[in-house]
């Protein structure tokens, strides 16, 4: 499982011209599920994301988590995080889990974030989404388990 975490001042997800998720200060997490991923990976990454200290404290040091700053999260499924571009010019996505495996794990990841106390919204699995990201910093962190 792979997570691309972006610290945002605001973010939103729009599907068919309807905004389905919108947050202010927090994290936008693009989440990819690979073959063999399961509960263990979802738990590890949810705990890590909830407690990752990437927000600034009063001294300007990155000592605070999304929980500490009372931020919110949007989780967006992103199978393209498993793109293999080593050969040719067209990426291969053979390492990404099939939708019937990935969709429940993305939902479980969001549920686990909520269990940690993080207000969490999601995109719409399998839909064409317009994701608006105001990356704050910019701060972008890659997590993998």
Task: Say what the pLDDT of residue 89 is.
Answer: 94
- Give yes or no for a contact between 136 and 11, defined as CB atoms under 8 angstroms apart: no
Q: What does the block give as tokens for 108?
A: 């479980």
As a whole number of Å, the CA-based R_g of the chain is: 15
pLDDT tens-place values along the chain, 145 residues long: 999 999 999 999 999 999 999 999 999 999 999 999 999 999 999 999 999 999 999 999 999 999 999 999 999 999 999 999 999 999 999 999 999 999 999 999 999 999 999 999 999 999 999 999 999 999 999 999 9
The pLDDT of residue 64? 98
Residue tagged active-site, from 6, 78, 121, 122: 78
- Name the 3-class secondary structure at 40: helix
Q: Which pLDDT score, from 0 to 100, does residue 124 have?
A: 98
Query: What string of DSSP letters covers 48-92?
Result: HHHH---EE-TTS-EEE-TTTTT-EEEEEE-GGGG-B-SSSSS-B
80 is an active site residue: yes
Q: Are 14 and 123 contacting, i.e. CB atoms less than 8 angstroms apart?
A: no
Q: Is 125 a catalytic residue?
A: no
Peptide bond into 138 cis (omega under 30): yes
Q: Which fold has domain 2-136?
A: 3.50.80
Domain segments of the chain as ranges? 2-136
How would you label 117-144 residue by residue, b for 16+ Cβ within 10 Å and e otherwise? ebebbbbbeeeebebebeebeebeeebe
What's the pTM value of the predicted model, to 2 decimals?
0.96
Catalytic residue among 79, 109, 120, 121: 79
φ/ψ of 115, rounded to 5, equals -65, -25
């Amino acid at each position: 499982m792979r997570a691309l975490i972006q610290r945002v001042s605001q973010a939103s997800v729009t599907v068919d011209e309807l905004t389905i998720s919108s947050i202010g200060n927090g994290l936008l997490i693009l989440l990819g599920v690979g073959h063999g991923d399961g509960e263990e990976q979802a738990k590890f990454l949810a705990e890590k994301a909830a407690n990752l200290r990437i927000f600034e404290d009063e001294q300007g040091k990155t000592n605070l988590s999304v929980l500490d700053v009372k931020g919110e999260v949007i989780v967006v499924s992103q199978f393209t995080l498993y793109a293999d571009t080593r050969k040719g010019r067209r990426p291969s996505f053979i390492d990404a889990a099939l939708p019937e495996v990935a969709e429940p794990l993305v939902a479980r990841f969001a549920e686990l974030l909520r269990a940690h106390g993080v207000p969490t919204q999601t995109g719409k699995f399998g839909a064409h989404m317009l994701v608006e990201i105001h990356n704050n910093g910019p701060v972008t962190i890659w997590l993998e388990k």
